Structure 1
Amino acid sequence: MRVGVVTEIKPAERRVALTPAGAHELAGRGHEVLVQAGAGVGSGFADAAYIGAGARIVEAAEQVWADSELLLKVKEPIEPEYELLNGDATLFTYLHLAAAPRLTEALVASGTTAIAYETVTGANGKGLPLLAPMSEVAGRLATQAAAYFLQSPLGGRGVLIGGVPGVAPARVVVIGGGVVGTNAARVAVGMGAEVTILERSIARLAELELLFDGRARVLMSDALTLREEIAHADVVIGAVLVAGAAAPKLITREMLAEMRSRSVIVDVAIDQGGCAETSTPTTHDDPTYLVDDVLHYCVANMPGGVPATSTRALTNATLPYVQALADHGVDGAFAKIAGLSDGVNVRAGQITIPAVAEALAASHAAA
């Protein structure tokens, strides 16, 4: 099978969907690997490394899109790429379609089979194995970003996240105790912050209590508790996930008026629309903005800021699925790997994820 890898063109996105080591594995199985020139440079991989691994370098993105039977990306196609969507190919990437109605329509119109990393499930339908590595990165980065933007010259409250002897540390509230939230809380605890995790699952609350062993407060997330906690926070990290669906708007505009002046919201859920009513996507080049004196950090591709780490972690997770798709085709791969079929969001001009169909219908109703 011809497997293609294109250069990411989303602003400040430096990851690549396949490492040279991954290309070597595919070439060794008899597949033709096409890599757009310069695709790996942002992650530290020169074209020569791919050539040495058995891949073929192709200059033009248009040729990679047209010639590939399986097209690998990191981030969802953006508008200049819509016309390149190939109805004879399978696209394997992060999609987050519930927050992207125009992309959804483009995929439907193209006839492309679109498999989203973020909705592939693990054994017995549990877990999100291809979302997990980037969630780990994003969670850890969320606390780093919060600590950085708490500095007064950058718009924050001027609070050192870990404090110093005799001076209280920052109060960090993490909304959601999944992979993102757990990693954000771990880093915040390690930096010396006063950390509270809000979570709705009883079972997960018990797991978090054992994991943090008193180093973080673990509370049931309800509307009243959420409101009280964020009112006294220096940092709020939104780590909410409803797989395949738009994130719930848990932080309302009204709540911002009760928050501390120049406190920081890091909305990691922004790929799915964000968990604050005032969240709108930003980039690494222009990451923050103020609303009602609350600083918002809503970078939509946070792991793209550490591409050397993120690219390797992503390929480690996706390669077995890529190999199955290349070896056996789409339906054959579904039979080989449980949970891969859950990743299909669009196929043969049809949306296959109810939450995405509902989000598209809602966007049309609002238009």
Structure 2
Amino acid sequence: MVIGIPKEIKDQEYRVSLTPDGAAVLVQAGHTVWVEPSAGVGSGFADEDYRRAGATIASGKDEVFAKAEMIVKVKEPLLSECHLFRPGQVVFTYLHLASLPDLTKALLERKVWAIAYETTEAKDGSLPMLRPMSEIAGRMSVQVGAQYLEKLRGGRGVLLAGVPGVEPGHVAILGAGVVGASATRIAVGLGAQVTVINLDLDRLRYLDDLYGGRIVTRAAHPAAIEEAVCGADLVIGAVLVPGAKAPKLVSRTLLKKMKPGSVVVDVSVDQGGCFETTRPTTHSDPTYVVDGVIHYCVANMPGIVPRTSTFALTNATLPYIVRLASDGVERTIRSDPGLAKGVNLKDGQVTCRGVAEAHGLRFTPLL
């Protein structure tokens, strides 16, 4: 199979979808890899690194798309790229289509196979390709939130760690999945007062056993959410419904009750966000203020730590890429129900229920 690696063009997105070592694995398995010039530079990989791995450096993005049977990306295609797709071509990437109606429409019109990292499941029901970026974003969320709590950035002037004689800052984490657990780890490490809210009590039991009396866990219901959010200096949105829009847990009315200068970091922005006031931002313009509350809602947080992110992503995706290339897309999907759940679109049809429901489109089961 011919695999194409285009350069990411989202704002300050420095990741690349495949390391040179990953390209070498594919070439050694008999496949052809085309790489857009300077695609890996942001992650510290020169074109020569890919050449040494056996890949071919294309003349540009157009040639990558023209040659490739499968396009492997990091982030969802931008609308400016969609005309490059052709019917039957495979795009394998983070898609988050439930929050992107225009992109969904464009990819449906191109009749591609759109396979999403974030909805592909392992045998145990986990999300193996979403996990590494969720781990990174969760860790970053507390780091970023702590920065925006500084007075120079408009925050309350609170040090999350506190000092002797002064209580530490309060962090509320909405969700206890991979993002929430990763955020909890960093917040506890800093010495903050941490409250974690989640629907699944088993997840709360796990975190409670792990951290003992260092965190407070609360079952997710409106009163608990309101109490935690209103008392927090930093709120992390870490809610995920695979393939579907995130539920709005914090309304504008509740937001108005938060402390002036407090900070919201909504990691679930890729799926529409769990705050009513969430809208996507970029690394170039990362924040905005609503009712005195700073909102950080960058949709590609791991893009600014690309070296770590690219290695972590390739570790997770390469086994799937090898199987898709070696066995063929249809055969691989028929043999792997978890990968089949990653197929969001096929031949102009929506094959992911969450995406269909988000946009009022007809859902067509894949299998």
Q: What range describes the TM-score normalised by the shorter chain of this pair?
A: over 0.9
Query: 1:228 and 2:241 equivalent?
Result: no
Q: Please give the alpha-carbon distance, in whole angstroms, between the structure 2 residues aligned to 1:331 and 1:18.
A: 22
Q: Please give the alpha-carbon distance, in whole angstroms, between the structure 1 residues aligned to 2:210 and 2:285.
A: 35
Query: 1:135 and 2:128 equivalent?
Result: no
Q: Please give the alpha-carbon distance, in whole angstroms, between the structure 1 residues aligned to 2:154 and 2:282.
A: 17
For residues 62-85 of structure 1, the C-alpha deviation after alignment (integer angstroms, 9 at most, x for no partner) is 111111001100000111111112
Q: Note the C-alpha offset of 1:335.
A: 4.2
Contact kept in structure 2, 1:324 and 1:336, CA below 8 Å: no
Q: Note the C-alpha offset of 1:336.
A: 4.6
Q: Which residue of 1 aligns with 2:198?
A: 199
Q: Note the C-alpha offset of 1:132.
A: 0.3
Q: Which residue of 1 aligns with 2:117?
A: 117
- 1:11-90 alignment to 2 at 5 Å? 11-90=11-90
SS where residue 213 of structure 1 aligns? helix
Contact kept in structure 2, 1:172 and 1:236, CA below 8 Å: yes
Q: Count how many residue pairs are aligned between Structure 1 and Structure 2.
A: 361
Q: Which residue of 1 aligns with 2:176?
A: 177
List structure 1 runs of 4+ shifted beyond 6 angstroms: none
Query: 1:144 and 2:143 equivalent?
Result: yes
Q: Please give the alpha-carbon distance, in whole angstroms, between the structure 2 residues aligned to 1:181 and 1:315.
A: 23
Q: Note the C-alpha offset of 1:303.
A: 0.6
Q: Which residue of 1 aligns with 2:321?
A: 322
Q: Which residue of 2 aligns with 1:297?
A: 296
SS where residue 277 of structure 1 aligns? coil
Contact kept in structure 2, 1:321 and 1:337, CA below 8 Å: no
Q: Note the C-alpha offset of 1:174.
A: 0.2
For residues 213-259 of structure 1, the C-alpha deviation after alignment (integer angstroms, 9 at most, x for no partner) is 22111111111110111111000000000000001011100011110
Q: Please give the alpha-carbon distance, in whole angstroms, between the structure 2 residues aligned to 1:326 and 1:48.
A: 24
Structure 1: tracts of 5 or more residues without a match: 363-367
Q: Please give the alpha-carbon distance, in whole angstroms, between the structure 2 residues aligned to 1:218 and 1:129.
A: 26
Q: Note the C-alpha offset of 1:60.
A: 1.2
Q: Please give the alpha-carbon distance, in whole angstroms, between the structure 2 residues aligned to 1:34 and 1:188.
A: 42
SS where residue 227 of structure 1 aligns? helix
Percent pairwise identity: 52
Q: Please give the alpha-carbon distance, in whole angstroms, between the structure 1 residues aligned to 2:169 and 2:82.
A: 44
Q: Which residue of 1 aligns with 2:365?
A: none
Q: Note the C-alpha offset of 1:14.
A: 0.6
Normalization by structure 2: what TM-score? 0.97
Q: Please give the alpha-carbon distance, in whole angstroms, between the structure 1 residues aligned to 2:242 and 2:210.
A: 24
Q: Note the C-alpha offset of 1:334.
A: 2.0
What amino acid sits opposite 1:260 in the alignment?
K
Moved more, 82-91 or 109-118: 82-91
SS where residue 33 of structure 2 aligns? strand
Contact kept in structure 2, 1:2 and 1:67, CA below 8 Å: yes
What amino acid sits opposite 1:87 in the alignment?
P
Contact kept in structure 1, 2:34 and 2:57, CA below 8 Å: yes
Q: Note the C-alpha offset of 1:93.
A: 0.2
What amino acid sits opposite 2:279 in the alignment?
T
- 1:161-310 alignment to 2 at 5 Å? 161-310=160-309
Moved more, 206-215 or 314-323: 206-215
What amino acid sits opposite 1:33 in the alignment?
V
Q: Please give the alpha-carbon distance, in whole angstroms, between the structure 1 residues aligned to 2:274 and 2:308.
A: 26
What amino acid sits opposite 2:291 in the alignment?
D
Moved more, 214-223 or 259-268: 214-223
Contact kept in structure 1, 2:174 and 2:237, CA below 8 Å: yes
Q: Note the C-alpha offset of 1:205.
A: 1.8
Structure 2: tracts of 5 or more residues without a match: 362-367
Q: Please give the alpha-carbon distance, in whole angstroms, between the structure 1 residues aligned to 2:209 and 2:74.
A: 34
Q: Please give the alpha-carbon distance, in whole angstroms, between the structure 2 residues aligned to 1:59 and 1:183.
A: 40
What amino acid sits opposite 1:145 in the alignment?
V
Q: Which residue of 2 aligns with 1:94?
A: 94
Contact kept in structure 1, 2:76 and 2:94, CA below 8 Å: yes
SS where residue 34 of structure 2 aligns? strand
SS where residue 213 of structure 2 aligns? coil
SS where residue 214 of structure 2 aligns? coil
SS where residue 95 of structure 2 aligns? coil
What amino acid sits opposite 1:107 in the alignment?
L
For residues 7-61 of structure 1, the C-alpha deviation after alignment (integer angstroms, 9 at most, x for no partner) is 0011111100000010000000010000000000000101010000000001210
Q: Note the C-alpha offset of 1:170.
A: 0.7
Q: Note the C-alpha offset of 1:210.
A: 1.2
SS where residue 214 of structure 1 aligns? helix
Q: Which residue of 2 aligns with 1:158?
A: 157
Q: Which residue of 2 aligns with 1:365?
A: none
Q: Please give the alpha-carbon distance, in whole angstroms, between the structure 1 residues aligned to 2:305 and 2:59.
A: 25
For residues 308-332 of structure 1, the C-alpha deviation after alignment (integer angstroms, 9 at most, x for no partner) is 0000000000000000000011122
Q: Note the C-alpha offset of 1:338.
A: 4.5
Q: Please give the alpha-carbon distance, in whole angstroms, between the structure 2 residues aligned to 1:275 and 1:247.
A: 6
Q: Note the C-alpha offset of 1:204.
A: 1.5
CA RMSD in angstroms comes to: 1.0
Q: Please give the alpha-carbon distance, in whole angstroms, between the structure 1 residues aligned to 2:61 and 2:354.
A: 31
What amino acid sits opposite 1:48 in the alignment?
E
